[in-house]
Structure 1
């Protein structure tokens, strides 16, 4: 059998959820409220079942894709996590940072540390990354849509479908207003007001948080699904022997369940929507990937595909904590500056991003949150990623514990690099799919990314010094140091930017490299043109597609969630259209 006609490899439905044998009562009530009668626990799945489409991954792309395909076909959606409902860390914007800091086995965020030493997270919940992010919503640029080869009219219709379901216009508190005016004063023009379009200048974007601060997620799209044609199994875990034309998953009790594509030939498909880490990992564990790497782990090669896991990138983020002499209201990302030199500038504010630094267990809690949006981020200015050890975290926590609590009033101004041009790869650590794969992003390997970062930090400096932002900054360093030097004899964290570093005559270059964090916009590993074709079919493997952020070469817009959700709807419509065209052709014969 030629590679071009190879049958679908068995896809391994894997997760790291252990000991989760039930959906909690609160979540069950939420599911009933949304009339999610089709959402069930994996242990309740039949031992053998058949569907037209099997979607692996109920995330930001998988949910709109499943809802769309269910309009005319029988669809199974498999998710390794649980429901997002009933979890305040997911549902409330005031607990945004708590979800990312939660390291428990049942957390909706599964932590991983890249080989670069940067702490990161991947979603483990129905709704995917839309359950964990800061909520900012903006479309991709028209240039991005054109380069992707998408149909502009269908793209716009798909965006509108998404927006009707869960996008809101945010309220803009004073700190965000000052940021907006400061960006304009710093030369990031024009002022575009409120818009969902990706355009140069300063703008207010959309949000998936409503006016009550309640998050709306991609899981909400399932309300649009046909309730008798869609089945969702949560906590689908484990791995079994390969089976053609379907998947095998194991429930938390250890029982194997076989799911096959229904008879009907080429119209039925398995679709991977497991995300940038999950989709390449599942392909490789299923025997689709670089032959030498698969052989190293004793995996039989079904299709030698060198591009799987390659070209993975994470937009580097560098954030600056700006202490404020006055209290600052809580806000997530609402305003963004889209520069013309390849950097995006955003902001978050409020004491909710601080962490309890006093009392029992303070150092432990601080270390756990290290690397998230907390004032501790300032300590990263002299700690390169590979040196961010637990001991370094504890020392930083101890220093910060001695600071006056007024030191934690303020907010972050952050910048993200366009692209980026620096890329890396994903490799298997082992055949244990419960383990995260090894991920290398190679932050700032390309010097052009460093130059973009420097220009972004310089723009942030201008914002901090702007007249518009003056009420949220200290008038002089003497007044500021009076607050911060309560911890006598210890270093205090950098404030109002202006980083200085003895090891580099170019302090901003050093600042970019040593304060690098993630903004959770990683992508790649199954690129269009390399691993999948323009219809997102895996090249050389029949009946298999990948539809998620792993197919992106660049992160779309300033924040990618809008485009990932749009892609789920867009490809769902495309696939249904193809199905009926094929059916019509078959009927003629």
Structure 2
């Protein structure tokens, strides 16, 4: 118990930093304490409690949803991770959390059945604590297709943007990328805008002018303190269902969560038809928890010894991940650090972005060591991932690649990445249970490039990157004696982009896409609207349960989904409140 008290004290101190220092206006000590009242460690939570709304997942959608619903209701927000720590807060340490492979890492690593290394957030604020910070809205067409109210969508985006979105500076490398995209035909020049429009644009960022990260956890500062309880390190194991007279479906009435000591806590909904359990656990977590609770494909559940309350074959289906392919561009001159600020939205269905300042403040030897540990960082050393098609990316093989990186001259890492991500995608896979342990990752298959349309979009994206590299606008950041082909494949002069070798020492663009594929962490699906949930995100076949997160998306919105996931949390919070008042 002494250990638990020490952890709780540290948690309060960390929450004071989180909820105080991120505020644009300095808070008094009393105001900080007022904010801290709703944050607690799972070990300090009561064994039994009651709320109007139980939200599972304190991430990119869960935080704005909880803050909104707390205005007039008692809300419990359950997060399986802890608070963002200091080295996640700046651009210079962007890769640190992703490189952390400890059991308590805020980025829980998983490897898809395709062989591609990936990560899922395990921290208050979710993916907004781990990503490259780029902020852009979904297109108007996406909003229409989703059936959302455009006025409420716009007001919800503005609510998000007032809290944590900034206009980035455009350093020379990013400015050259912008001009090169325009020269390569990705037009028009749309300047700075949050809108998703064809052409080249500068988007928003959640990093402020001092390079400090702001996250979805910041929304909790707008919560009504007496209306919200946030419990950290709480792993939900199942949703509780019961039968109710006059209702032909199982009714959700609570959840069970475990704390780090293994103690099981029960949380119940207060009496009343308006109260609900809401899953915001993400693309992997929400379908996983539905299946652990008996809602999913009957044969699959029974194979794991789970009684199927509702045979719902579409739970976990239609999961997709936007494939990312990139090339590292060595620079003859030093390049400053920049994360994604410029994006080219092509007419052919691919998005072109870039990051520069390759070492992110990490010595090459240390960076290589971290790559070997995590084999999935987005850093120049991951150019070595191109030497290994996905199924061959074992820890041992990547250790050898990291060792090769460590032996290179530091100048080999001077430059930046240009990457392409495809629209959609059309190819989909599934999430399935691997075990009944809620802390473990489920099995995930994305089926990258299964559909020819996705492969064609990738090829066109790579061709656009080639035109960018060859452009006059980008010439200051490329070697004058380097052809585009040599940057992709000349291992003697450009060793960062080593690629798989074949008998004829050549390969097609399609082969390049398949063999160098990585993730950009924009996976989605598994609880699609119309298949698992209705237009108001209520789960079919049960009552009192919704899913509000990226698992409901059929396609990834915009060039980065975080803006739309945060917007959805606010949007549905407002709608649920209005519905509650009508009832």
- TM-score, normalization by structure 2: 0.91
Contact 2:412 2:495 in 1 (8 A): no
1:264-343 superposed matches below 5 A: 264=272, 266-343=273-350
The aligned counterpart of 1:12 is: none
2:76 counterpart SS class: strand
Report the Cα distance in structure 1 between the residues aligned to 2:149 and 2:17, rounded to whole angstroms. Answer: 36
Check conservation: 1:531, 1:539, Cα contact below 8 A: yes
Q: Any idea what the Cα deviations from partners look like across 1:3-52, whole Å, max 9, x if unmatched?
A: xxxxxxxxxxxxxxx99954446514315625232111111212211111
Q: Distance in 2 between matches of 1:362 and 1:567?
A: 36
Distance 1:41 1:370 in 2: 32
Whole-angstrom CA distance in 2 between matches of 1:508 and 1:380: 17
Give 1:40's aligned residue.
40
State the match for 1:518 in structure 2. 519
Q: 1:533 & 1:144 partners in 2: Cα distance?
A: 17
1:492 matched to 2:490:
no
Mark the CA change 1:378 to 1:32 in structure 2 (over 3 Å): closer, same or farther. closer
Residues in 2 aligned to 1:503 and 1:110: alpha-carbon distance in whole angstroms: 39
Which residue in the other structure is 2:445 paired with? 440
- Per the alignment, residue 406 of structure 1 pairs with 411
Query: What CA distance in whole angstroms lies between the structure 1 residues aligned with 2:568 and 2:264?
Result: 31
1:224–1:274: structure 2 CA closer, same or farther, 3 Å change rule?
Answer: same
Unmatched runs of 5 consecutive residues or more in structure 2: 21-31, 243-252
- How far the C-alpha of 1:395 sits from its partner, in A, is 1.8
Aligned residues: 554
Distance 2:262 2:201 in 1: 50
CA contact (8 A) 1:57 1:273 kept: yes
Q: Does the 8 A contact of 2:99 with 2:371 survive in 1?
A: no
Q: Residues 542, 243 of structure 1: CA spacing in aligned structure 2 closer, same or farther, 3 A cutoff? A: closer
Does structure 2 conserve the Cα–Cα contact (< 8 Å) formed by 1:109 and 1:124?
yes
Tell me the secondary structure at the aligned position of residue 277 of structure 2: strand
Name the counterpart of 2:402. Answer: 397
Matches within 5 A, 1:362-373: 364-373=369-378
Q: CA deviation at 1:238?
A: 5.8
1:532 matched residue in structure 2: 533
User: Which residue of 227, 230, 237 maps to 2:228?
Assistant: 230
**Higher mean C-alpha deviation, range 66-75 or range 187-196:** 66-75
Name the structure 2 match of 1:203.
201
C-alpha deviations, 1:554-589, integer Å up to 9, x for none? 00000000000000000000001111111xxxxxxx
Match of 1:162 in 2: 160
Counterpart in 1 of 2:473? Answer: 468
1:66 equivalenced with 2:66 (yes/no)? yes
Q: CA offsets, 1:118-153, max 9 Å, x none?
A: 110000001111111100000000000000000000
Q: Helix, strand or coil: the match of 1:344?
A: strand
SS at match of 1:239: strand
Deviations 1:77-115 (A, max 9, x none): 11111111xx23321111111111111122211111111
Identify the match of residue 144 of structure 1 among 142, 145, 152: 142
Q: Given the two structures, how large is their TM-score scaled by the length of structure 1? A: 0.90
For 1:369 and 1:356, how far apart are their aligned partners in 2? 16
**Which one is further off, 119-128 or 500-509?**
500-509
Distance 1:230 1:239 in 2: 22
Deviations 1:183-218 (A, max 9, x none): 000000000000000000000000000000111100
1:123 counterpart = 2:121: yes
For residue 102 of structure 1, the aligned residue among 97, 100, 108 is: 100
Structure 1 position 431 matched with structure 2 position 436: yes
Alignment-derived partner of residue 257 in structure 2 = 249
- In structure 1, C-alpha distance between the alignment counterparts of 2:107 and 2:411, rounded to whole Å: 30
Kept after mapping to 2: 8 A contact 1:311/1:424: yes
Partner of residue 188, structure 1: 186
Distance 2:402 2:47 in 1: 51
Deviation of the 1:393 alpha carbon: 0.9
Q: Per the alignment, do residues 193 and 295 of structure 1 end up closer, same or farther by CA in structure 2, a change over 3 Å counting?
A: same
Aligned to 1:78: 78
1:20 and 1:252 in contact (8 A); partners too: no
Alignment deviations for residues 310-368 of structure 1 (CA, whole Å, 9 cap, x no partner): 0000000001100000000000000000000000000000033485444xx77643412
Note the residue ranges of structure 1 that are not aligned, 5 or more in a row: 1-17, 583-589
Question: CA separation of 1:524/1:73 partners in 2, compared to 1, >3 Å: closer, same or farther?
Answer: same
Which residue number corresponds to residue 258 of structure 1? Answer: 266
Gap change, CA 1:31 and 1:44, over 3 Å in 2: farther
1:234-291 CA-to-partner distances (Å, cap 9, x unmatched) read: 1112637956410111222222221111111x21100000000000000000000000
Distance 1:525 1:241, change over 3 A: closer
